[in-house]
Structure 1
Amino acid sequence: MKNHIEIDGVRYIREDSPALLSADPHYFEPREGKEVVRCPGCGEATGLHINEVRLENAAGQKLVASATSEDNASRIHVSLTDDSEEKGRRYTLTLAGECEHCSTFELKFQQHKGFTYFTKTTK
């Protein structure tokens, strides 16, 4: 893939866009094929927790699965409501979590007319 385009003799260089999610090469389990995901806010490889998954459809339904606690005390809570705020023709998938080093975050993937849009928010 070229890293530039030329229009009317002017060369425009393509800048690399930031990765949606990136892995830290120092934390890799080759036997299991697992990589450690860095925080989408600060880039730290440790302290990242994804605690909630939301799936919303165009009809207004919202399925929320959230996890609390850890080890034997961990629990998963699931709810289905009709209070979706997302608009579109297909689905929206959101991963929500927190980083021990910086903030909370949401990674949102929304399908609409053959496109998948991505939004990252940190608080």
Structure 2
Amino acid sequence: MARIRTTQADLAGNTFGNARNLGLFRDNSVIVDDAVGVNDRADFYRFTVARRCTGTIALTGLRSNVDVEVYDQNRRRVNLLNRAGTASEFTTGIAPRGVYYLKVVPRGAGETTYRLTVLTVKTS
């Protein structure tokens, strides 16, 4: 499992165009530690799924309310993880081959660090 630490500086992109590339996913996972808040209103990530798979996205360790928006390669929103408060955000489902974007956004005026985990497993 790859781990990317970004606690010292915001290394995630702030738009679709400069989204942080998490790489090509083939039955693997990545963990990113970062933060969002008043001075960083959105973190964007991009990754490519090599073949149809079961994908899991989790956002944990929240101290304030944060949502995760999932977009396809055409930048159409395909999922929204928006549990209230500091509850962890989590989803799992079938992901066709292609490029995906994740947008991590704070709700309200709170600031928080977070741990983003993206996992893919080949489907039969």
Fold shared per TM-score above 0.5: no
- RCO higher in 1 or 2 (8 Å CA, sep ≥ 6)? 2
- State the TM-score, normalized to the length of structure 2: 0.26
Structure possessing the higher radius of gyration over alpha carbons: 1
